[in-house]
Amino acid sequence: MATTGPAAGAGKGTDSDEVSSSYRWVVLSNTTIGVLLSTVNSSIVIISLPAIFRGIHLDPLTPGNVSYLLWILIGYMLVTAVLVVTLGRLGDMFGRVRIYNAGFALFTVSAVGLTLTPFEGPSGALWLIGFRIVEGIGGAMLLANSTAILTDAFPARQRGMALGINQVASLAGSFIGLVAGGLLSEWDWRAVFWVSVPISIVGTIWSYRSLRDTGRRVAARIDWWGNITFAIGLSVILVGVTYGIQPYGGHVMGWTNPTVLGELIGGAVCLALFILIERRVTQPMFNLALFRIRPFAAGNVAILLFAVARGGMQFMLIIWLQGIWLPLHGYDFEDTPLWAGIYLLPLTCGFLIAGPVSGYLSDRFGARLFATGGLLIVALSYLGMLMLPTNFSYPAFALLLVLNGIGGGLFSAPNTTAVMNSVPPNARGGASGMRGTFMNSGQVLSIGLFFSLMIAGLASSLPASLHDGLASRGVPADVINRVAELPPVGSLFAAFLGYNPMRNLLGADTLNQLPAAQAHDITGREFFPHLIASPFHHGLIIVFGLATIMSVIGALASLLRGKRYIHVEPTLPAPVHEADPVPSSSDTAAT
């Protein structure tokens, strides 16, 4: 093991070897529930969006309502990505358990607020967006500090196992949310939010009664300008990337929209200012010096690439199942959201198999073998998905999902353990927040990136397929030309929401003018899936090809992390400095 130089900090701290074994398991169980609650709620609305919009009597595919759709979808993830570093740093300063407990309480308040939505239409959507943002703040408090609290409580020889269980909850939660959202929305759309209320209440009471701070606090001032420039810069970039997938001025996407360009450029300027500020302030919010630690830097690069690829896969698989495969196998479009979540369960099973085991083994053998091998397995699963036909055999698809889940489980726990082991105890909250930022930003970026790639792929071939298919069913030429010229994002969103895309594209007036047999055929289960299969597969090749490349690059970054490295505090007393001291690369030693 290695030391990295003297650590400075203020306040009391307890070495993790001195924490009782029984308390460690209290910490593990409570933080796992907190992380699971946070990640389940990041995805629970994806499958339940149709029921939610029906409940508030709002058509999300009407052009003026698409913004409501996007903000209910990304508001939670966006706020979590932006605030997780700040809240982790505040945990270093004021106590990680204190911020974590406040996150549980805030999550409870927001969950209740979501269930009590009093409005319908746009007002109802704004109410949901507002409380989803509040819920995202609570979720960021939980995510930012749970990993640091676990690292404080468990000694290095057990951290991999503890963080493995925690990371399985984090990764599996996003897919459990898909199934839970589908099942609960079949009963009542408010149940999607009600389910979090009792769990949040119990978790809040339990955390306030049982958790205590065992980590070191840092006497520091809040880096206001760093926080402001980071929040503004990252927010507007992520918003710009998301809005870039909407049509603009006759273009199929909005990347030439002055507003989108202004957001991307303005956000980049803010982040550049943020970096300048962080290099000059004595107590930075985002401690750039941590990136001198090779395992920390390599681990976070790998996390970002893994998150972007995984987020894109999640959305593409949902569209693939709901828009093509499930209708072709006898499921009505309105039933596809629930069944898409169920058919994706093998992915969660893979996480559950590999996560705890890889975490336990990484305690003995280090992270590099498991994290690197896990990303290569993920890349292999993407290659397999790329070669599947659009109307695939489910056993082959399920096997690839399990393989992807195993690869993700092998990567996540060891990688997180390596990142957290490499930093000084007084920087764990900020380091956990940085890791969370890379993970959550990657998931939001994946929406803009992979939807853009899919839309670009569809734009080149879908109009011709629509023209030929509708012409063969006797649809009037003027209607065919109008539909063929529509941006493909409408068809993607319709499939994503479990709506019948052809019913949405043609409209009730056109369908009523057609003979009943033709209208029934066009809006049936097989017409749209056969129509879009070839263009969609062309887009899938691009999407999964890029995901494969990103996973391989992430594996290379993971390989370059070096041998096992654990930061060890010096035994001699050290002076207290204003800034958090962080080792330079020359201080780093390996075991």
* C-beta separation of 390 from 353 below 8 A: no
The reply to whether 166 and 208 lie within a common domain is yes
Residue 217 has φ and ψ, to the nearest 5°, of -95, 155
Burial of 590 (0-12, 13-18, 19+ CB in 10 A): middle
Question: 405: domain CATH number?
Answer: 1.20.1250.20
State the pLDDT at residue 402: 94
How far the first Cα of the chain sits from its last, in Å, is 5
**Residue 232 lies inside a defined structural domain of this protein:** yes
* C-beta separation of 322 from 495 below 8 A: yes
The reply to whether 128 and 18 lie within a common domain is yes
* C-beta separation of 413 from 358 below 8 A: yes
State the pLDDT at residue 569: 57
The reply to whether 353 and 309 lie within a common domain is yes
State the pLDDT at residue 364: 79
**Residue 455 lies inside a defined structural domain of this protein:** yes
The reply to whether 151 and 67 lie within a common domain is yes
Q: 570: pLDDT confidence band, cut at 50, 70 and 90?
A: low
> Cα 296 to chain center, whole Å?
20
**Residue 590 lies inside a defined structural domain of this protein:** no
* CA–CA gap between residue 443 and residue 79 (Å, rounded): 12
* C-beta separation of 337 from 47 below 8 A: yes
Q: Is 5 a residue whose pLDDT tops 60?
A: no
Question: Which of 41, 39, 149, 151 lies closest to 101, judged by CA?
Answer: 149
The reply to whether 279 and 211 lie within a common domain is no
Under 8 Å CB-to-CB from 22, ≥6 apart: which residues?
A: none
The reply to whether 351 and 499 lie within a common domain is no
Q: pLDDT tens, 528-557?
A: 888 888 888 888 888 899 999 999 999 999
The reply to whether 237 and 114 lie within a common domain is no
Angle formed at CA 16 by CA 15 and CA 19, multiple of 5 degrees: 100
Enumerate the β-bridge partners of residue 251. 248
3-class secondary-structure state, position 192: helix
What does pLDDT average to over the chain? 82
* C-beta separation of 518 from 526 below 8 A: no
State the pLDDT at residue 392: 93
3-class secondary-structure state, position 591: coil
Q: pLDDT tens, 176-224?
A: 887 888 888 888 889 999 988 998 999 899 999 988 877 666 666 777 8
* C-beta separation of 120 from 68 below 8 A: no
State the pLDDT at residue 217: 65
* C-beta separation of 180 from 386 below 8 A: no
CA atoms within 13 Å, Cβ hemisphere of 344: 27
**Residue 178 lies inside a defined structural domain of this protein:** yes
**Residue 579 lies inside a defined structural domain of this protein:** no
Burial of 419 (0-12, 13-18, 19+ CB in 10 A): buried
Place of tokens 């890349």: 379
**Final residue of a structural domain among 252, 284, 316:** 284
3-class secondary-structure state, position 80: helix
* C-beta separation of 144 from 436 below 8 A: yes
The reply to whether 205 and 253 lie within a common domain is no
Q: Is 416 a residue whose pLDDT tops 90?
A: no
H-run or E-run covering 568: strand 567-568
Q: Which two tokens stand for residue 79?
A: 């706020």
* CA–CA gap between residue 372 and residue 370 (Å, rounded): 6
State the pLDDT at residue 399: 96
Radius of gyration of the chain (CA): 24
The reply to whether 403 and 390 lie within a common domain is yes
Q: Which two tokens stand for residue 369?
A: 């073998």
Residue 287 has φ and ψ, to the nearest 5°, of -75, 95
Residue type for position 532: I
* C-beta separation of 69 from 493 below 8 A: yes
Section 166-174 average pLDDT: 77
* CA–CA gap between residue 269 and residue 265 (Å, rounded): 6
* CA–CA gap between residue 107 and residue 137 (Å, rounded): 8
* Alpha-carbon distances of 530 from 386, 430, 533, rounded to whole Å: 18, 50, 5
The reply to whether 229 and 160 lie within a common domain is no
**Residue 95 lies inside a defined structural domain of this protein:** yes
* C-beta separation of 20 from 582 below 8 A: no
Section 415-443 average pLDDT: 83
Q: pLDDT tens, 432-479?
A: 888 888 888 888 888 888 888 888 878 878 888 888 888 888 888 888
**Final residue of a structural domain among 518, 535, 552:** 535
Residue type for position 506: L
Q: How many domains does the chain have?
A: 3
Residue 478 sits in which domain range? 462-535
**Final residue of a structural domain among 234, 262, 284:** 284
The reply to whether 490 and 392 lie within a common domain is no
Which of 15-24, 523-532, 551-560 is the most confident on average?
Answer: 551-560
Q: pTM of the full predicted structure?
A: 0.80
**Residue 591 lies inside a defined structural domain of this protein:** no
3-class secondary-structure state, position 251: strand
* Alpha-carbon distances of 155 from 17, 18, 46, rounded to whole Å: 5, 9, 38
Q: Is 584 a residue whose pLDDT tops 60?
A: no
**Residue 561 lies inside a defined structural domain of this protein:** yes
Question: Which of 203, 169, 135 lies closest to 39, judged by CA?
Answer: 169
Q: Which two tokens stand for residue 267?
A: 């956000």
State the pLDDT at residue 7: 35
Greatest pairwise CA separation for the chain in angstroms: 87
Q: pLDDT tens, 373-384?
A: 999 999 999 999
The reply to whether 184 and 279 lie within a common domain is no
Enumerate the β-bridge partners of residue 3. 568
3-class secondary-structure state, position 285: coil
Give the 3-state secondary structure percentages of the chain, helix then strand then coil, rounded to 5.
Answer: 75, 0, 20
State the pLDDT at residue 574: 46
* C-beta separation of 564 from 367 below 8 A: yes
Question: Which of 563, 549, 543, 548 lies closest to 371, judged by CA?
Answer: 563
* C-beta separation of 141 from 103 below 8 A: yes
Section 489-493 average pLDDT: 77
